[in-house]
Chain A
């Protein structure tokens, strides 16, 4: 059974850093592009970043470019999001998502990890 389990969320002050992890199982991790999508409390979905299966290609939303870094360790079946220079507007649930191999859909989602940026 496919599983995506995020961890690493918490409370951090503005300007601080946090690293999220997403442990994947139940599929061939290295073959799949992966993404981070976030949802601020009571708000809509916002794509954050994506990475190809090999890790060679990475994409970022303008709102996080230069502050967040997506990476993966295929030997550990784990996806990461390093978040630096955090802002209050980064407060959200961060979901890890497996991308469809056939189209640009987020076909499977983890339960998410909450990140709160506040002083």
Chain B
């Protein structure tokens, strides 16, 4: 099974800050990596697919990069509606999620 290690587990940031979350796979998954946003009481929403492709309708302040085992998710300028939990998810072999990163208001 492929394990996904996401960090940090949580972070505090202010509106306008640049936020970066990392995700490491236990083995090479090429670019088979997706990113989701989940707000409290809501279902997850796909933001980025195949490591760096923005899902339709997702604001351009969200971006992703990486390949192989190391991936990065960035919010270039944090907005009030971005406070949520973010998950990476691999599909290089079956499917699995990272543990999540909760982005809180500083």
Q: Which residues does A use to contact B, with CB under 8 Å?
A: 35, 44-47, 50, 59, 61-62, 95, 100, 102-107, 109-112
- Taking a contact as CB atoms under 8 Å apart, the answer to whether A103 and B94 are in contact is no
Contacts of B87 in A (CB 8 A): 44-45
Contacts of B46 in A (CB 8 A): 105-107
- Also in contact, A62 and B49, with CB within 8 A (given A104-B34, A106-B89): no
- Taking a contact as CB atoms under 8 Å apart, the answer to whether A105 and B49 are in contact is yes
- Taking a contact as CB atoms under 8 Å apart, the answer to whether A103 and B49 are in contact is yes
Main secondary structure on chain B at its contact with chain A?
loop
- Taking a contact as CB atoms under 8 Å apart, the answer to whether A59 and B43 are in contact is no
Give min CB distance, A57 to chain B, whole Å: 12
- Taking a contact as CB atoms under 8 Å apart, the answer to whether A59 and B94 are in contact is yes
A-B contact pairs, 9 of them (CB 8 A): A35-B95, A44-B97, A44-B99, A47-B96, A95-B43, A100-B49, A106-B34, A106-B36, A107-B55
- Taking a contact as CB atoms under 8 Å apart, the answer to whether A61 and B97 are in contact is no
Taking CB atoms and an 8 Å cut-off, the chain B residues in 77-93 that contact chain A are 87, 89-91
**What residue of chain A has the Cβ atom nearest to residue B50's Cβ?**
A103
Contacts of A95 in B (CB 8 A): 43-44
Contacts of B99 in A (CB 8 A): 44
- Taking a contact as CB atoms under 8 Å apart, the answer to whether A103 and B97 are in contact is no
- Also in contact, A50 and B95, with CB within 8 A (given A45-B100, A95-B43, A109-B44): yes
A107 to B34, CA, bound (A): 10
Q: Which 8 pairs of residues, A with B, have the shortest CB-CB distance?
A: A104-B91, A109-B43, A47-B95, A45-B97, A44-B100, A105-B34, A105-B49, A44-B99
Give min CB distance, A22 to chain B, whole Å: 13
Taking CB atoms and an 8 Å cut-off, the chain B residues in 16-55 that contact chain A are 32, 34, 36, 38, 43-44, 46, 49-50, 55
Give min CB distance, B54 to chain A, whole Å: 12
